[in-house]
Protein backbone atom coordinates (compact mmCIF):
# COMPACT_ATOMS: atom_id res chain seq x y z
CA UNK A 1 0.00 0.00 0.00
CA UNK A 2 1.42 3.38 -1.04
CA UNK A 3 0.10 6.93 -0.92
CA UNK A 4 -2.01 6.49 -4.05
CA UNK A 5 -2.02 2.74 -4.81
CA UNK A 6 -2.84 -0.65 -3.34
CA UNK A 7 -1.82 -4.07 -4.62
CA UNK A 8 -4.22 -6.87 -5.47
CA UNK A 9 -2.80 -8.75 -2.48
CA UNK A 10 -3.60 -5.86 -0.14
CA UNK A 11 -7.15 -5.52 -1.40
CA UNK A 12 -7.81 -9.26 -1.18
CA UNK A 13 -6.74 -9.16 2.48
CA UNK A 14 -8.82 -6.10 3.35
CA UNK A 15 -12.07 -6.70 1.42
CA UNK A 16 -13.98 -7.26 4.66
CA UNK A 17 -12.66 -4.16 6.41
CA UNK A 18 -15.30 -1.73 7.69
CA UNK A 19 -15.20 1.66 6.01
CA UNK A 20 -13.82 0.26 2.76
CA UNK A 21 -15.49 1.23 -0.53
CA UNK A 22 -14.51 -0.48 -3.79
CA UNK A 23 -15.33 1.38 -6.99
CA UNK A 24 -15.24 0.09 -10.58
CA UNK A 25 -14.34 3.23 -12.53
CA UNK A 26 -13.87 1.51 -15.89
CA UNK A 27 -14.51 3.51 -19.04
CA UNK A 28 -13.25 2.86 -22.56
CA UNK A 29 -12.90 4.56 -25.91
CA UNK A 30 -14.90 2.95 -28.75
CA UNK A 31 -11.67 1.75 -30.38
CA UNK A 32 -10.87 -0.33 -27.31
CA UNK A 33 -13.86 -2.56 -27.98
CA UNK A 34 -14.80 -3.03 -24.32
CA UNK A 35 -18.14 -2.44 -22.59
CA UNK A 36 -17.40 -1.32 -19.04
CA UNK A 37 -20.92 -1.79 -17.65
CA UNK A 38 -21.36 -5.22 -19.25
CA UNK A 39 -18.00 -6.36 -17.89
CA UNK A 40 -18.95 -5.14 -14.42
CA UNK A 41 -22.23 -7.01 -14.51
CA UNK A 42 -20.52 -10.18 -15.74
CA UNK A 43 -17.96 -10.17 -12.96
CA UNK A 44 -16.61 -7.55 -10.56
CA UNK A 45 -14.52 -7.45 -7.41
CA UNK A 46 -16.69 -8.20 -4.36
CA UNK A 47 -18.15 -5.05 -2.76
CA UNK A 48 -17.50 -2.99 -5.90
CA UNK A 49 -20.05 -0.48 -7.12
CA UNK A 50 -20.05 0.77 -10.71
CA UNK A 51 -19.11 4.42 -11.23
CA UNK A 52 -20.46 5.26 -14.67
CA UNK A 53 -18.29 8.07 -16.02
CA UNK A 54 -20.85 8.86 -18.70
CA UNK A 55 -23.55 9.33 -16.06
CA UNK A 56 -21.76 10.97 -13.11
CA UNK A 57 -21.55 14.29 -14.95
CA UNK A 58 -23.11 17.73 -14.79
CA UNK A 59 -26.66 17.45 -16.17
CA UNK A 60 -27.26 19.40 -19.36
CA UNK A 61 -23.63 19.86 -20.33
CA UNK A 62 -22.94 19.58 -24.05
CA UNK A 63 -19.47 18.22 -23.33
CA UNK A 64 -18.67 14.62 -22.34
CA UNK A 65 -17.58 13.90 -18.78
CA UNK A 66 -18.20 17.40 -17.47
CA UNK A 67 -17.35 17.51 -13.79
CA UNK A 68 -20.60 17.56 -11.78
CA UNK A 69 -21.28 20.20 -9.18
CA UNK A 70 -20.42 19.20 -5.61
CA UNK A 71 -24.13 18.76 -4.88
CA UNK A 72 -24.64 16.49 -7.87
CA UNK A 73 -21.52 14.48 -7.09
CA UNK A 74 -22.61 14.07 -3.45
CA UNK A 75 -25.95 12.66 -4.61
CA UNK A 76 -24.24 10.09 -6.85
CA UNK A 77 -21.61 9.12 -4.26
CA UNK A 78 -24.15 8.85 -1.47
CA UNK A 79 -26.39 6.65 -3.61
CA UNK A 80 -23.41 4.31 -4.07
CA UNK A 81 -22.97 4.09 -0.31
CA UNK A 82 -19.64 5.93 -0.36
CA UNK A 83 -18.73 8.32 2.44
CA UNK A 84 -16.05 11.00 2.39
CA UNK A 85 -14.13 9.31 5.21
CA UNK A 86 -14.10 5.85 3.63
CA UNK A 87 -10.98 4.22 2.30
CA UNK A 88 -11.94 4.30 -1.38
CA UNK A 89 -10.26 1.84 -3.74
CA UNK A 90 -10.82 2.56 -7.44
CA UNK A 91 -10.05 0.22 -10.30
CA UNK A 92 -10.52 -0.03 -14.05
CA UNK A 93 -9.74 -2.79 -16.56
CA UNK A 94 -6.02 -2.41 -17.36
CA UNK A 95 -5.20 -0.52 -14.17
CA UNK A 96 -4.17 2.96 -15.28
CA UNK A 97 -6.60 4.31 -17.84
CA UNK A 98 -9.86 5.65 -16.41
CA UNK A 99 -9.46 4.89 -12.68
CA UNK A 100 -7.28 7.99 -12.12
CA UNK A 101 -10.18 10.21 -13.23
CA UNK A 102 -12.41 8.74 -10.50
CA UNK A 103 -9.52 8.98 -8.02
CA UNK A 104 -9.17 12.66 -8.94
CA UNK A 105 -12.90 13.38 -8.67
CA UNK A 106 -13.27 11.88 -5.21
CA UNK A 107 -10.24 13.75 -3.92
CA UNK A 108 -11.44 16.93 -5.59
CA UNK A 109 -14.71 16.58 -3.71
CA UNK A 110 -13.01 16.12 -0.34
CA UNK A 111 -12.38 12.40 0.12
CA UNK A 112 -9.21 11.95 2.13
CA UNK A 113 -8.13 8.38 1.42
CA UNK A 114 -8.50 7.38 -2.24
CA UNK A 115 -6.26 4.80 -3.89
CA UNK A 116 -6.04 2.95 -7.18
CA UNK A 117 -5.76 -0.82 -7.59
CA UNK A 118 -2.51 -1.59 -9.40
CA UNK A 119 -3.07 -3.86 -12.39
CA UNK A 120 -6.83 -3.25 -12.40
CA UNK A 121 -9.38 -6.00 -12.59
CA UNK A 122 -7.51 -7.50 -15.54
CA UNK A 123 -4.60 -8.17 -13.21
CA UNK A 124 -6.95 -9.34 -10.46
CA UNK A 125 -8.45 -11.90 -12.82
CA UNK A 126 -5.07 -13.04 -14.15
CA UNK A 127 -4.12 -13.93 -10.60
CA UNK A 128 -7.23 -16.08 -10.33
CA UNK A 129 -8.85 -13.93 -7.66
CA UNK A 130 -12.58 -14.13 -7.03
CA UNK A 131 -15.09 -12.02 -8.95
CA UNK A 132 -18.85 -12.02 -8.67
CA UNK A 133 -21.76 -11.16 -10.92
CA UNK A 134 -24.09 -10.62 -7.97
CA UNK A 135 -25.26 -7.04 -7.45
CA UNK A 136 -23.49 -5.26 -4.61
CA UNK A 137 -25.79 -4.42 -1.71
CA UNK A 138 -25.63 -0.69 -1.10
CA UNK A 139 -26.64 1.26 2.00
CA UNK A 140 -27.08 4.86 0.81
CA UNK A 141 -25.30 7.45 2.93
CA UNK A 142 -24.39 11.11 3.04
CA UNK A 143 -21.26 12.23 1.18
CA UNK A 144 -20.23 15.60 2.59
CA UNK A 145 -18.26 17.46 -0.06
CA UNK A 146 -15.32 19.77 0.43
CA UNK A 147 -14.76 21.03 -3.09
CA UNK A 148 -11.23 22.04 -4.12
CA UNK A 149 -12.16 24.31 -7.02
CA UNK A 150 -8.60 25.58 -7.49
CA UNK A 151 -7.59 22.19 -8.90
CA UNK A 152 -9.85 22.60 -11.96
CA UNK A 153 -9.09 24.82 -14.95
CA UNK A 154 -11.88 26.44 -16.96
CA UNK A 155 -11.95 27.49 -20.61
CA UNK A 156 -11.30 31.11 -19.67
CA UNK A 157 -8.31 30.08 -17.57
CA UNK A 158 -6.96 28.04 -20.46
CA UNK A 159 -7.27 31.00 -22.82
CA UNK A 160 -5.17 33.02 -20.38
CA UNK A 161 -2.63 30.20 -19.97
CA UNK A 162 -2.17 29.88 -23.74
CA UNK A 163 -1.97 33.65 -24.19
CA UNK A 164 0.42 34.42 -21.33
CA UNK A 165 2.29 31.16 -20.72
CA UNK A 166 1.45 31.40 -17.01
CA UNK A 167 1.40 27.60 -16.78
CA UNK A 168 2.56 24.66 -18.87
CA UNK A 169 0.01 22.47 -20.66
CA UNK A 170 0.65 18.73 -20.60
CA UNK A 171 -1.56 16.95 -23.14
CA UNK A 172 -2.20 13.25 -22.45
CA UNK A 173 -3.52 12.27 -25.89
CA UNK A 174 -1.54 9.94 -28.18
CA UNK A 175 1.06 11.66 -30.35
CA UNK A 176 -0.92 11.21 -33.58
CA UNK A 177 -3.90 13.13 -32.23
CA UNK A 178 -1.72 15.75 -30.55
CA UNK A 179 0.08 16.42 -33.82
CA UNK A 180 -3.15 16.46 -35.84
CA UNK A 181 -2.17 13.42 -37.90
CA UNK A 182 -4.79 11.04 -36.54
CA UNK A 183 -8.46 12.05 -36.41
CA UNK A 184 -10.21 12.88 -33.18
CA UNK A 185 -12.77 10.27 -32.06
CA UNK A 186 -15.48 12.90 -31.65
CA UNK A 187 -17.14 14.50 -34.65
CA UNK A 188 -16.58 18.20 -35.18
CA UNK A 189 -13.39 18.39 -33.12
CA UNK A 190 -10.29 19.70 -34.87
CA UNK A 191 -6.96 17.89 -34.74
CA UNK A 192 -3.83 19.36 -33.22
CA UNK A 193 -3.08 20.98 -29.87
CA UNK A 194 -3.01 24.26 -27.97
CA UNK A 195 -0.11 26.58 -28.78
CA UNK A 196 2.73 25.82 -26.40
CA UNK A 197 1.32 22.51 -25.17
CA UNK A 198 3.63 19.56 -24.58
CA UNK A 199 2.70 15.97 -25.35
CA UNK A 200 2.94 13.44 -22.49
CA UNK A 201 0.84 10.47 -23.67
CA UNK A 202 -0.94 8.88 -20.70
CA UNK A 203 -0.15 5.39 -21.92
CA UNK A 204 3.58 6.18 -21.79
CA UNK A 205 3.51 6.65 -18.01
CA UNK A 206 2.52 3.15 -17.00
CA UNK A 207 3.75 -0.42 -17.13
CA UNK A 208 1.77 -3.54 -16.25
CA UNK A 209 -1.12 -1.48 -14.90
CA UNK A 210 1.02 0.62 -12.56
CA UNK A 211 2.81 3.96 -12.79
CA UNK A 212 6.44 3.98 -13.86
CA UNK A 213 9.02 4.42 -11.10
CA UNK A 214 9.56 8.08 -10.07
CA UNK A 215 12.84 8.46 -11.95
CA UNK A 216 11.21 7.26 -15.18
CA UNK A 217 8.17 9.47 -14.63
CA UNK A 218 10.41 12.47 -14.12
CA UNK A 219 12.34 11.64 -17.27
CA UNK A 220 9.10 11.31 -19.27
CA UNK A 221 7.88 14.77 -18.26
CA UNK A 222 11.24 16.46 -18.63
CA UNK A 223 11.82 14.73 -21.96
CA UNK A 224 8.56 16.22 -23.20
CA UNK A 225 9.72 19.69 -22.17
CA UNK A 226 7.82 20.02 -18.88
CA UNK A 227 9.63 21.93 -16.13
CA UNK A 228 8.57 20.23 -12.90
CA UNK A 229 9.36 23.33 -10.86
CA UNK A 230 6.60 25.32 -12.59
CA UNK A 231 2.76 25.13 -12.73
CA UNK A 232 1.20 22.51 -14.99
CA UNK A 233 -2.32 22.10 -16.38
CA UNK A 234 -3.17 18.61 -17.63
CA UNK A 235 -5.50 18.01 -20.57
CA UNK A 236 -6.59 15.14 -22.83
CA UNK A 237 -9.60 14.34 -25.02
CA UNK A 238 -12.45 14.71 -22.55
CA UNK A 239 -10.81 15.01 -19.13
CA UNK A 240 -10.38 11.31 -18.34
CA UNK A 241 -6.77 10.39 -19.10
CA UNK A 242 -5.55 13.86 -18.12
CA UNK A 243 -5.97 12.51 -14.60
CA UNK A 244 -3.23 9.95 -15.30
CA UNK A 245 -0.85 12.88 -15.73
CA UNK A 246 -2.22 14.58 -12.62
CA UNK A 247 -1.67 11.37 -10.66
CA UNK A 248 1.88 11.05 -11.99
CA UNK A 249 2.67 14.68 -11.16
CA UNK A 250 1.33 14.35 -7.61
CA UNK A 251 3.33 11.15 -7.20
CA UNK A 252 6.41 13.23 -7.99
CA UNK A 253 5.39 15.79 -5.37
CA UNK A 254 4.24 18.38 -7.91
CA UNK A 255 1.45 20.22 -6.13
CA UNK A 256 0.85 23.18 -8.46
CA UNK A 257 -1.33 21.24 -10.88
CA UNK A 258 -4.77 21.76 -12.39
CA UNK A 259 -6.84 19.60 -14.73
CA UNK A 260 -8.60 21.21 -17.69
CA UNK A 261 -11.99 19.53 -17.43
CA UNK A 262 -13.28 20.52 -20.88
CA UNK A 263 -10.02 19.34 -22.42
CA UNK A 264 -9.59 18.97 -26.17
CA UNK A 265 -13.26 18.26 -26.88
CA UNK A 266 -14.06 21.76 -25.67
CA UNK A 267 -10.98 23.54 -27.04
CA UNK A 268 -10.80 21.75 -30.40
CA UNK A 269 -14.56 21.80 -30.83
CA UNK A 270 -14.71 25.61 -30.91
CA UNK A 271 -13.90 27.98 -33.74
CA UNK A 272 -12.51 30.79 -31.59
CA UNK A 273 -9.60 28.94 -29.97
CA UNK A 274 -6.10 28.77 -31.51
CA UNK A 275 -4.94 25.35 -32.69
CA UNK A 276 -1.56 24.27 -34.04
CA UNK A 277 -0.44 20.98 -35.58
CA UNK A 278 2.82 19.06 -35.72
CA UNK A 279 5.19 18.28 -32.86
CA UNK A 280 5.42 20.59 -29.86
Mean per-residue pLDDT, 136-145? 96
Evaluate if residue 2 carries a pLDDT over 90.
no
Evaluate if residue 153 carries a pLDDT over 80.
yes
Evaluate if residue 280 carries a pLDDT over 90.
no
pLDDT tens readout for residues 192-203 = 999 999 999 999
Mean per-residue pLDDT, 220-249? 98
Evaluate if residue 179 carries a pLDDT over 70.
yes
pLDDT tens readout for residues 86-131 = 999 999 999 999 999 999 999 999 999 999 999 999 999 999 999 9
- In this structure, the strands spanning 113-117 and 87-91 are parallel
- The CA-based diameter of the chain, rounded to the nearest angstrom, is 53
Topology at the third CATH level for domain 150-267: Oxidized Rhodanese; domain 1 (3.40.250)
Whether 141 is catalytic = no
Mean per-residue pLDDT, 257-277? 98
pLDDT tens readout for residues 8-21 = 999 999 999 999 99
Q: How far is CA 242 from the centre of its chain?
A: 6
Cα–Cα distances in angstroms (integers) from residue 21 to residues 102, 121, 206, 247, in the given order: 13, 15, 24, 20
One fold for 5-147 and 150-267 = yes
Domain 5-147: CATH class, spelled out: alpha beta
pLDDT at 62: 92
The mean pLDDT of the chain is: 97
Mean per-residue pLDDT, 185-213? 96
- One of 116, 236, 240, 247 is an active-site residue; which one? 236
| Euclidean distance between the first and the last CA atom of the chain, given in angstroms as a whole number | 37
Evaluate if residue 167 carries a pLDDT over 80.
yes
Share of the chain above pLDDT 70, in %: 100
Evaluate if residue 1 carries a pLDDT over 70.
no
pLDDT at 46: 98
Per domain, the residue ranges of the chain are: 5-147, 150-267
Please give the model's pTM, rounded to 2 decimal places: 0.97
Amino acid sequence: MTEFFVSTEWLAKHLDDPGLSVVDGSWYLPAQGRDAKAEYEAGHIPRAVFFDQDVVVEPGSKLPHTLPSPETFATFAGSMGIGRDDTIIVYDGPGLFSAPRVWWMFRLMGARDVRILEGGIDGWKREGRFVTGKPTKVAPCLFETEFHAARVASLDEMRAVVETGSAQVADARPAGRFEGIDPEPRQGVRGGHMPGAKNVPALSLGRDGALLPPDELRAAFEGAGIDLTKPVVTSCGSGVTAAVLTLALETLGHADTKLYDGSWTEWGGRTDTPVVTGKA
